Amino acid sequence: MILNKALLIIWTLVAAILLSTPSVRAADEITIGAGEEGGSYYEFGRSICRLIDRKAKSLSCSLLPSTRGDAPDDSLVNLINVNTNAAEIGLARSDWHHFVVTGTGPVKYVSGNLDGIRSLFSIHVQPVTLIVRSDAGIGKLDDLKGKRVNIGRAYSDDRKSVELVLGAKNWTLKDFLLVDELSQADQRLAFCHDRVQAMFYMGSHPDPSISKTVKLCNATLVNVSGAAIDKIVAAKPYLTHTTIAGGTYAGISEPVKTFGSTVTVVSSVDVSEELVYAFVKGVFENLPALKKSHSAFKDLDPAKMVQTGLTAPYHIGAMRYFREKGLR
């Protein structure tokens, strides 16, 4: 009887200890809000997720594809998902990042704000790219006036590129001989058949469709640079100067100067310091592997990653890592 009582007391103590001691925790799960499946943002997110799954032992990663609906851009969907805690991490282009944090641009008249957004780092500049026919007599940006151009569909990224250039140069659509509003897929056909002499593209490089256009349709790239462009980049903190490296496309050996927006990585103020710290550490301490995972990442530079295109305050977990490494 006494022995049974003693065993009962021992088991009661053991149970109490087990209940009060945290169990060994499995890897923390993070979800990255990416773009629509098959798009560049989705591919960026997938590359980062695979890196985290392989290299960050304390984390596991999954993707949340965007379902755009009536939203004008994947970036906005991802920012909303992060702000509402549907995803811990999100990818957003620097212009949308800036708009939602400052309440300006397309979100100026939208009620509410996304004040929970926090900056982590940036990964890749998406340049404004001007593609011209080699026989069109367009050797510099100013030569575009009086030519046949495609400006992209309304609200598309390509159209936004054109609007930025038009604003910088104080041009209107009347400055061109012909203006088309074709999608990326349709504009290439019009370009190759010489209906249009120039077209704009805003996205990542190298791009297979541009490579094919350069090879098969007598195309080249022209600098989008000069004093007017410098002025607009200086006035808009979400824009940055960049260069498309020579040799990116066959036959174009010289670097092409231009500007663009940056794909940024964000989180929410509600995500724990430890989780963000582990995520940022997993990325920055495995940059060589990330660079090999996607052609757009080959020139990643930690010094630029911690400052380019970031409008929201830094997450405390990211800042902790950056200070440890002397990056901020």
Q: Which is more confident, 266 or 74?
A: 266
Euclidean distance between CA atoms 58 and 52, whole angstroms: 9
Give yes or no for residue 75 having a pLDDT over 50: yes
Q: Which is more confident, 23 or 223?
A: 223
Predicted local confidence at residue 308, as pLDDT: 94
Q: Label residue 323 left, alpha or beta by phi (over 0 means left) and psi (-120 to 50 means alpha).
A: alpha
Model pTM?
0.85
| Mean per-residue pLDDT over the chain, rounded | 88
pLDDT classification of 62: cutoffs 50, 70, 90: very high
Predicted local confidence at residue 57, as pLDDT: 83
Residue extents of the structural domains in the chain: 28-124+263-324, 126-261
Coil, strand or helix at 324:
helix
Predicted local confidence at residue 40, as pLDDT: 84
- Among candidate residues 177, 221, 225, 228, the one with its CA nearest the CA of residue 201: 221
Of the CA atoms within 13 Å of residue 128, those in its CB half-sphere come to 27
Euclidean distance between CA atoms 310 and 276, whole angstroms: 16
CATH architecture, range 28-124+263-324:
3-Layer(aba) Sandwich (3.40)
Predicted local confidence at residue 156, as pLDDT: 84
pLDDT classification of 18: cutoffs 50, 70, 90: very low
Give yes or no for residue 24 having a pLDDT over 50: no
Predicted local confidence at residue 197, as pLDDT: 97
Predicted local confidence at residue 72, as pLDDT: 61
> Are both 28-124+263-324 and 126-261 of the same fold?
yes
Predicted local confidence at residue 19, as pLDDT: 41
At the top level of CATH, the class of 126-261 is alpha beta
pLDDT classification of 27: cutoffs 50, 70, 90: low
Polymer length of the chain: 328
Q: Which is more confident, 314 or 209?
A: 314
Of 7-16, 106-115, 176-185, 206-215, minimum mean pLDDT range: 7-16
Euclidean distance between CA atoms 140 and 228, whole angstroms: 13
